Amino acid sequence: MSNSIISLVNVSKSYKRDSFNVPVLNHLSFDVESGEFLALMGPSGSGKTTLLNLIAGIDRPSSGKIEINGVDIATLSESSLAKWRANNVGFVFQFYNLLPVLTAFENVELPLLLTKLSKADRKQRVEFALSVVGLADRMSHYPKQLSGGQEQRVAIARAIVTDPTIIVADEPTGDLDKNSAVEILTLLERLNKEMKKTIIMVTHDPNAAKIAGITKHLDKGDLV
């Protein structure tokens, strides 16, 4: 019996550029098992980030079906999709995307503001998430007071604080030096192995891809 958490069936995506229709993804079909660590690789413009955005529910396919945990997310309304993202997906971006006016604690707490958790419960969760990424002692620091690697660890803490089933990471080591990149990859590996998170990571780096259990290659919108 299949244990797939993500199922893509004949998914295509194209963008309109002026009067032209530019195809980005062509009839992709594949499954991702629960607890899998999938790396998406491919040259620039191959459609990696677009595919990640579709799986994460921040973009919609032009055709095809994306089922996550049995929910066809392409059919959800904007507000339902927003709620679904808040409950099911954790995001890690290449440029961290932390809010500069909030401390590490407050940045991590941000997704929890949409929940009905009490202040004490939010605090407990944030402290746990920051301790997982090894930044329990930097909670009151602002992003500009942290290194790039530390900022990305705060971003990972923000991604796991709601305990999502899936974590999507778009080139999480793309803006980091070698040592910081290793730290982040090790952390993602831990999240996958110890916390059983399903992780889908877009990367250009073959060393990063080695940490993932499965690697899929995209080229011009096709799986190769």
Site of interaction with another protein (CB under 8 A): 50, 53, 56, 58-59, 78-79, 82-83, 85-87, 91, 93, 97, 99-102, 106, 109-111, 113-114, 158
For residue 166, give the nearest of 107, 85, 76, 108 by alpha carbon.
85
Q: Which is nearer to another protein, 27 or 60 (CB)?
A: 60
Q: Which is nearer to another protein, 70 or 100 (CB)?
A: 100
Buried b (16+ CB within 10 A) or exposed e, 68-97: beeeebbebeeeebeebbeebbbbbbbebe
CB of 220 to another protein, least distance (A): 19
Amino acid in position 118: S
CB of 147 to another protein, least distance (A): 20
To which residue do tokens 């919108």 refer? Answer: 221
Return d(Cα 145, Cα 68) in angstroms, integer: 37
Q: Which is nearer to another protein, 15 or 147 (CB)?
A: 15
Q: Which is nearer to another protein, 56 or 135 (CB)?
A: 56
CB of 171 to another protein, least distance (A): 12
CB of 100 to another protein, least distance (A): 8
Cα dihedral 45, 46, 50, 56 sign: negative
**Taking the CB of residue 132, how many other CB atoms lie within 10 A of it?**
19
